[in-house]
Structure formats: structure tokens, C-alpha cells
Amino acid sequence: MHISMVSSSHVPISRYLTLCGHAFWTLLKAPMRAPYNTTSEVTRDMDKGTTYLSQTHYTKEIFITYNFWNATPRLTPMQPNKRLNKGDCDKTPAPDFHRRYHGIVGSLGHLVRMTRPGLAWAYCELSKYVQSPLKNHMLAAEHVLCYFRGTWSETIRYSRDS
């Protein structure tokens, strides 16, 4: 589990964690039972009044798992002027292919929910085809990973001033 928290008070962090969900809060209270993929990194500076939320450790693991650590970053999350459609679906995809696609889309979904709302549209498009993806769906998922490779270390910043 990779979580960093800096705070002089437990109360503001607990408010944030309540918003993230009771299950996440339970994991923090009992880290020995936490699964390996608890992924949020919260850094708080009370003097500056800032809180940073990121998932850099988790995203690095995604890139390593799917062999995209050295990928060339893309400028857009999805290929311009390219639409995925249901007619492209394979009713019986190969198990390894299906597992890889499902894993990539699931990882992107977790990132969208926690720190990357800008990838929501791409995730939504890819998730429509999780049950029966084809090669063009996989290419689109890999394109999203390439885009994300260029912005993987970005964080969400909350401050008193904003």
C-alpha cells in the first residue's frame, strides 16, 4: 500500500476519505489487511493550506504491467475522427486478449474515479466493449495508455485559496 499523508489534524483527512468511500477508510484503519492495489497518495501541507491527490505509484505499475513504460506519449486520449462501434465486437475473444483488455479498462476506470476525471469519456467508450473486444478496441485502449504516459505524474491540488 502506498499512501503518504501529511497533516497536523486527522479530521480534515478523514472528511476526504469519507467522500472517497467507507471501504477505503476501512483499509486505512487496517493497512495490514489492505489489498496491494490501494492506490491513492494524499500529501497535505497545513502551513501552505494545500492537499495533493495523486496515483503516481499505481500508474507506474500499470505502465510496467502492460509494457507501456517506454511508450511515446500521445496528444489526445482517443484517436481523432475514429469511433468504436458494436459491430466490431468479437463474441468469443481469446482469453488472454480479453483479460488484457479488461485489465487495461479496469485500471483506467480506477484512475478516472480517483484522480483522472479528464479520461472519463475515453474510459466510457472503452468500457462499452469489455465483454467482447476486438483488435481495434485494444488499439484504442493502448492509445489511451500512450496519452496517459505523457501526463502520468500529474496531481489534483486543493488549496485554501482556490
What is the full per-residue pLDDT of the chain (162 aa) written as tens digits? 344 444 444 555 555 555 555 444 444 443 333 334 457 888 888 888 899 888 888 889 999 999 999 999 999 888 888 888 777 666 777 889 989 999 999 999 988 888 888 899 999 999 998 888 888 899 999 999 999 999 888 888 889 886
How many CB atoms within 10 Å of residue 78? Answer: 19
Close Cβ partners of 142 (under 8 Å, ≥ 6 residues apart): 66, 68, 104
- Note the pLDDT of residue 23: 45
| Residue 159, beta-bridge partner list | 50
CA distance 76 to 107: 18
Q: Is the pTM of this model over 0.75?
A: no
Give the 3-state secondary structure of residue 3. Answer: coil
CA distance 145 to 49: 33
- Note the pLDDT of residue 102: 92
